[in-house]
């Protein structure tokens, strides 16, 4: 930090070969409270500058060895000497010396013989001006930090990164060298944020930034760069997305080595406060000049490659290839199709029976959306619901599901079908923004339905997110007479706390555990434990994905209340479901 005149006793360096002048200057300046350091020639002055770091310099022009002009130039080359006020002491008031003093970087000049009181004021004026100047420089730096660096991690932001990339690309073009752009996205970061809170999420991002920096510094590429340069070579674009550029690449494989090093480094647990967190990342790589010649395209292609890495199963890296562009176009047209489907009601709601495992009879259904696409055919909800969420269409979509479910219930009621509870899946995205209680209440008010006609299926992440508001909404739904179940139990951040805090009626054991219940004693033990826990909390247990009669029997013997699965029936259209209920078969025959 540059010292300023506002601090006590600024230090003035006097550079003059004449002993008498130095003596008089010292006396005059010290009387005014300045501290003084002397140098008897320019070489000594430059040599001592770094250590002394004076607040101002009085510099004689006529000196042997290095004259005042050259001394001034040498000090200005110092990074800390750029803004130090330098007062040139010229022998003669000739225009030529004044010109040369100005050209060599002097701040001001004073002529000999020196008028001592004036000298003191000159120094004070200079310091005051430099203080104001340094203030401006500091502000500018601050603004730069804000405008070009990510405040959380201290890494470059998108603007800075793109600028530096453009700059480095110009050099790479001139030098005919290769460069890689890495686009990195953390896997499942949202879950961590949702379950452990933004505070922990932020700290995690900071730690990730540090690990990336370490990996990059250890790479050969960066050791060839100047120290300060590397600062703008890693950026956080926002959220959990990072970009890295690797200039002067010997061959593209070196980029994959860096990607691997980052993945290995991130695989080590992060300990944040009391949490031990495991994460992974997916990385996409594009190479200059092969995959693009400007920053925009290289970043876009690295981003596409990152998506590909995610699709390939996360925790990996992928190089960009041209075929990804086609995929991106396909994705775009898929998204357009979804927008249209939401607008044009291209979905239908199907129903999967939920069976009472004790008597084998249907006592409810889960509604599952189907999309019959004109050219793609049946599209699975696992494929289109994430897109609907990403496109911000989940609200109109959920409205449709609720209206459709209510309509179907009314139809069954009018046609004398015995009352069955219909479960509706509610996406965790924007759960609190969905005005769910109002929507369900309206759907009930508009019909002659009983509130207990509905069960709301939420996932564990809903409870972790904004828990205060979630609690209120769930209580409201329960107040209306609906029941609430936790879907896919055991696959997220299951916490007994949630089950105790929130008004939950039932737990759905994920089919992942049911699948191997016959062969894996561990899965069987987990299922048994979930059932026991639910019983002690007076909750109902629903097993998902029952496909064999062995699983059916085992779950029933374990005391599981309800079940659904292909053994009984997959999700089927409303008419087929109606028939099945009217037949009133008992699935106990399957045992
Ligand atoms: P989920 O709520 O866990 O639904 C159960 C999924 O398991 C359904 O897949 C169902 O068809 C499937 N399934 C049922 N029995 C068996 C079985 O015995 N074996 C196997 N292997 N699978 C079985 P689906 O219909 O493809 O739905 C996938 C997910 O999409 C659902 O998982 C749910 O999270 C979501 N989803 C479906 N419809 C909606 C909806 O209307 N709104 C929202 N927000 N999400 C929905
Ligand atoms: Mg469900
Ligand atoms: Mg489920």
pLDDT tens digits, 412-423: 999 889 889 999
In Å, how far are 516, 565, 571 from 545, measured between CA atoms?
11, 4, 11
Which band of pLDDT confidence, cut at 50, 70 and 90, is reported for residue 8?
low
Beta strand ranges found along 267-418 (DSSP E):
270-272, 275-277, 281-288, 317-319, 347-356, 362-373, 377-379
Which atom of ligand 1 is found nearest the CA of 380? 26
- Asked if residue 565 has its Cβ within 6 Å of ligand 1, the reply is yes
Residue 218: pLDDT above 80? no
Q: Which tokens belong to 93?
A: 């008031």
Tell which residue, 533, 469, 527, 522, has the closest CA to residue 500: 533
Confidence band, pLDDT 50/70/90 cuts, at residue 293:
very high
pLDDT per residue as tens digits for the range 256-267: 999 999 999 999
* Confidence band, pLDDT 50/70/90 cuts, at residue 220: low
Query: What pLDDT shows up at residue 144?
Result: 67
| Average pLDDT of the residues of the chain | 88
Q: For residue range 33-53, list pLDDT tens digits in order.
A: 899 999 999 999 999 998 999
- Has residue 512 got a pLDDT over 80? yes
pLDDT at 228: 55
Tell me the C-alpha distance between 139 and 332, whole Å.
Answer: 44
- Ligand 3 centroid vs 381 CA: distance in angstroms? 12
Same fold, 11-147 and 158-321: no
Determine whether the shortest distance from the Cβ of 381 to ligand 1 is under 6 A: yes
Establish how many alpha carbons lie within 13 A of residue 494's alpha carbon, considering only the half-sphere containing its beta carbon. 15
CATH dotted code for 332-590: 3.20.20.450
Which of 319-323, 454-458, 497-501 is predicted least confidently?
497-501
How far, in Å, are 457, 464, 542, 551, 566 from residue 587 at the CA level?
24, 37, 16, 13, 12
Enumerate the domain spans of the chain. 11-147, 158-321, 332-590
Query: 408 CA to middle of ligand 1, Å?
Result: 19
CA of 15 relative to ligand 1 center, distance in Å:
83
CA 512 to centroid of ligand 2, rounded, Å = 13
For 53-78, the pLDDT digits (tens) are: 999 999 999 898 889 999 999 999 98
Q: Are 53 and 12 in contact (CB under 8 A)?
A: no
For residue range 335-348, list pLDDT tens digits in order: 888 888 888 888 99
Top pLDDT among 222 and 369 is at 369
Is 505 a residue whose pLDDT tops 50? Answer: yes
Nearest CA to ligand 1 atom 5: 544
In terms of C-beta distances under 8 Å and separation of at least 24 residues, what long-range contacts does 527-533 make, across chains too? 527/555, 527/558, 527/560, 528/558, 530/489, 530/490, 531/558, 531/559, 531/560, 533/496, 533/499
Distance separating alpha carbons of residues 433 and 381, to the nearest angstrom = 22
Domain 11-147 has CATH 3.90.550.10: no
Question: Average pLDDT, stretch 569-591?
Answer: 94
Q: DSSP label at 79? A: G
pLDDT digits (tens, 9 = 90+) for 88-146: 998 766 788 888 889 999 999 988 888 888 899 999 999 988 887 777 677 767 776 67
Ligand 2 center to 425 CA (angstroms): 5
Residue 241 has pLDDT above 60, yes or no: yes
The two three-digit tokens of residue 21, written as one number:
């002048």
% of the chain at pLDDT higher than 90: 53
pTM of the model: 0.56
Q: Which residue has the higher pLDDT, 2 or 351?
A: 351
Residues, CB within 5 angstroms of ligand 3 (ion): 487-488, 544
Give the residue, out of 388, 426, 544, with the most ligand 1 atoms within 8 A of its beta carbon, to mutate for a pocket test: 544
Task: Report residue 6's pLDDT band, with 50, 70 and 90 as the boundaries.
Answer: very low
Nearest ligand to the CA of 457 is: 2
Task: Give the mutation target among 425, 509, 513, 571 for probing the ligand 1 site: most ligand atoms within 8 A of CB.
Answer: 425
Tell me what pLDDT residue 5 has.
39
**Which helix H or strand E contains 392, and what residues bound it?**
none
- Give the CATH architecture of domain 158-321: 2-Layer Sandwich (3.30)
Please report which helix (H) or strand (E) contains residue 243, including its range. Answer: strand 241-249
Q: Which two tokens stand for residue 355?
A: 């069976």
Check whether 409 has a pLDDT greater than 90: yes
Residue ID of nearest Cα to ligand 1 atom 32: 382
């Amino acid at each position: 930090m540059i010292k300023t005149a506002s601090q006590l006793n600024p230090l003035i360096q006097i550079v003059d070969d004449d002993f008498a002048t130095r003596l008089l200057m010292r006396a005059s300046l010290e009387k005014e409270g300045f501290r003084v350091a002397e140098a008897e020639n320019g070489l000594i002055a430059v040599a001592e500058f770094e250590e002394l770091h004076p607040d101002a310099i009085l510099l004689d022009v006529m000196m042997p060895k290095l004259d005042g002009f050259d001394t001034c130039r040498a000090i200005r080359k110092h990074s800390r000497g750029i803004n130090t006020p330098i007062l040139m002491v010229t022998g003669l008031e000739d225009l030529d010396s004044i010109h040369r003093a100005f050209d060599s970087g002097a701040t001001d000049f004073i002529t000999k013989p020196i008028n001592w009181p004036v000298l003191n004021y000159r120094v004070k004026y200079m310091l005051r001006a430099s203080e104001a100047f340094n203030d401006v420089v500091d502000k500018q730096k601050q603004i730069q930090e804000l405008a070009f660096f990510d405040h959380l991690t201290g890494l470059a932001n998108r603007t800075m990164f793109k600028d530096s990339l453009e700059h480095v690309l110009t050099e790479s073009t001139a030098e005919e060298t290769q460069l890689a752009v890495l686009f990195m996205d953390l896997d499942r970061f949202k879950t961590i944020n949702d379950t452990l809170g933004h505070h922990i999420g932020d700290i995690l991002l900071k730690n990730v930034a540090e690990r990336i920096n370490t990996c990059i510094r250890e790479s050969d590429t960066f050791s060839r760069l100047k120290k300060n340069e590397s600062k703008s070579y890693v950026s956080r674009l926002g959220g959990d997305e990072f970009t890295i550029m690797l200039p002067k690449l010997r061959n593209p494989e070196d980029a994959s080595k860096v990607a691997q090093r980052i993945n290995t480094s991130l695989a080590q647990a992060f300990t944040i406060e009391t949490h031990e967190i495991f994460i992974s990342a997916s990385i996409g790589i594009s190479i200059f000049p092969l995959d693009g010649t400007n920053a925009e395209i290289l970043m876009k292609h690295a981003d596409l490659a990152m998506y590909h890495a995610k699709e390939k199963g996360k925790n990996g890296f992928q190089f960009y290839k041209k075929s990804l562009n086609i995929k991106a176009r396909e994705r775009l047209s898929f998204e357009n199709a979804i927008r249209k489907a939401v607008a044009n009601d291209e979905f239908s709601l199907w129903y999967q029976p939920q069976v009472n495992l004790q008597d084998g009879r249907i006592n409810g259904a889960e509604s599952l959306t189907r999309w019959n696409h004109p050219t793609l055919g049946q599209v699975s909800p696992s494929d289109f619901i994430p897109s609907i969420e990403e496109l911000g269409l989940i609200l109109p979509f959920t409205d449709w599901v609720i209206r459709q479910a209510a309509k179907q219930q009314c139809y069954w009621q009018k046609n004398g079908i015995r009352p069955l509870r219909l479960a509706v899946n509610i996406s965790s995205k924007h759960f609190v923004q969905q005005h769910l209680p109002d929507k369900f209440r309206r759907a009930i008010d508009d019909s002659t339905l009983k509130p207990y006609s509905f069960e709301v299926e939420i996932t564990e992440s809903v409870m972790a997110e904004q828990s205060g508001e979630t609690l209120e909404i769930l209580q409201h739904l329960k107040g209306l007479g609906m029941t609430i179940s936790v879907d896919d139990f055991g696959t997220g951040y299951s916490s007994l706390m949630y089950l105790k805090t929130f008004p939950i009626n039932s737990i759905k054991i994920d089919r992942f555990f049911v699948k191997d219940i016959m062969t894996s004693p561990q899965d069987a033990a987990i299922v048994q434990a979930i059932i026991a826990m639910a019983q002690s909390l007076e909750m109902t247990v629903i097993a998902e994905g029952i496909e064999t009669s062995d699983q059916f029997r085992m779950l029933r013997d374990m005391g599981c209340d309800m079940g659904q699965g292909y053994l009984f029936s997959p999700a089927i259209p409303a008419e087929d479901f109606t028939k099945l209920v009217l037949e009133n078969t008992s699935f106990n025959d399957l045992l």
